[in-house]
Amino acid sequence: MGIDKNKKITMKTIYLLLIVSLGLLNMSYAAKKNEKYVLATGDKARERLELQNNLLAKDAYEHLEKAKLSKGMIVWDIGCGVGAVTSYLADKVGETGHVYALDISQEQLKTAEKRIKSEGHKNVTFIKGDINELENTSKNPADLIYMRFVLMHLVHPENALEKIKPLLKQGGVIVSQESIMSTIAQGKPVIDDYVGVVMALGKHNNVNYDIGNRLEELYKKAGFDRVKVYYNQQKIPPTDLKKMLLMGLSEWKNKAIEINLLTTDKVAAWEKEIEAIPTNDPNLMFSLAKQAHVLAWK
């Protein structure tokens, strides 16, 4: 009897240990899945993503208009981040429509949800999920899917498009935007150097920060019925460029230092040089990266 009881306790302990280790394994797998994403998430990402959106919003809205975003639509915002565009989408589809905002990062979703709630939108559902593992959620098929600066962080963008396509209704449209990062060449050594390290970091992680170059080809390969591509390159004032560069650097520098693409001395030197870019000349403007926009109909 005594032996049986001990055996039972041991089995129970082993079972519990197994459950705990499986839980830990699952957590570390979830963290690993997003390891190619080198930028900050949640509140730490909010200021940069909001500034980026302020600079690019007009451009994004124009393409959403071309795609006929309108009241009553079901829209998916894939890789929604801190909800910078989610809010606009919720406004446009109105009470009769709905936005499903998906991101792999709980932190991003938490920040996005806070924003959407504070604005009083009641037509947004947040979903934590990995694009690479999307199931066919035909319960809520989309009239329009919005996706900005997401494929650039994925090792297998082709696979992502294969997973995303079934979310779209027949006749529905994807509005997709990605950068061609290496086009930020400004003839200013510090910025060229900076962009060189960003590109090398992407290469190290097997992701392509110039994926805008491939956007049209990717959507055509994914078998969309009709694919339209637009390119543009916007000019911004030095104050905004400086903020973008410094905030971005603070988010990804440690990852670059870890793999010897950068040193702390170099970071300090860059910060000094970027700070020194003059802001009082109204004629001094800088180019953002060239952007590719794809509208693809199923």
Ligand X SMILES: C[S@@+](CC[C@H](N)C(=O)[O-])C[C@H]1O[C@@H](n2cnc3c(N)ncnc32)[C@H](O)[C@@H]1O
Distances (CA, A) of 211 to 199, 242, 287: 11, 24, 18
CB nearer to ligand X: pick between 240 and 273: 240
**Side-chain half-sphere of 218: how many Cα atoms within 13 Å?**
27
* Concatenated DSSP letters of the chain: -HHHHHHHHHHHHHHHHHHHHHHHHHHHHHHHHTTT--S--THHHHHHHHHHHHHHHHHHHHHHHHTT--TT-EEEEET-TTSTTHHHHHHHH-TTSEEEEEES-HHHHHHHHHHHHHTT--SEEEEE--GGG----TTS-EEEEEEES-GGG-S-HHHHHHHHGGGEEEEEEEEEEEEEGGGG--S-HHHHHHHHHHHHHHHHTT--TTGGGGHHHHHHHTT-SEEEEEEE--EE-HHHHHHHHHHHHHHHHHHHHHTTS--HHHHHHHHHHHHTS----TT--EEPPEEEEEEEE-
Which residues make Cβ contacts (< 8 Å) with residue 206, sequence separation at least 6?
A: 36, 155
Report the residue count for the chain: 298
Give the binding site for ligand X (CB under 6 A): 34, 37, 41, 49, 53, 79-81, 84-85, 103-105, 108, 130-132, 148-150, 153-154
How far apart are CB 20 and ligand X at their closest, in Å? Answer: 26
What is the β-pairing status of strands 168-180 and 235-236? Answer: unpaired
CB nearer to ligand X: pick between 56 and 197: 56
CB nearer to ligand X: pick between 43 and 225: 43
CB nearer to ligand X: pick between 236 and 277: 236
CB nearer to ligand X: pick between 34 and 250: 34
CB nearer to ligand X: pick between 95 and 158: 158
How far apart are CB 41 and ligand X at their closest, in Å? Answer: 6
How far apart are CB 170 and ligand X at their closest, in Å? Answer: 24
CB nearer to ligand X: pick between 149 and 270: 149
How far apart are CB 24 and ligand X at their closest, in Å? Answer: 21
How far apart are CB 104 and ligand X at their closest, in Å? Answer: 4
Closest residue to ligand X: CB criterion: 81
CB nearer to ligand X: pick between 80 and 262: 80
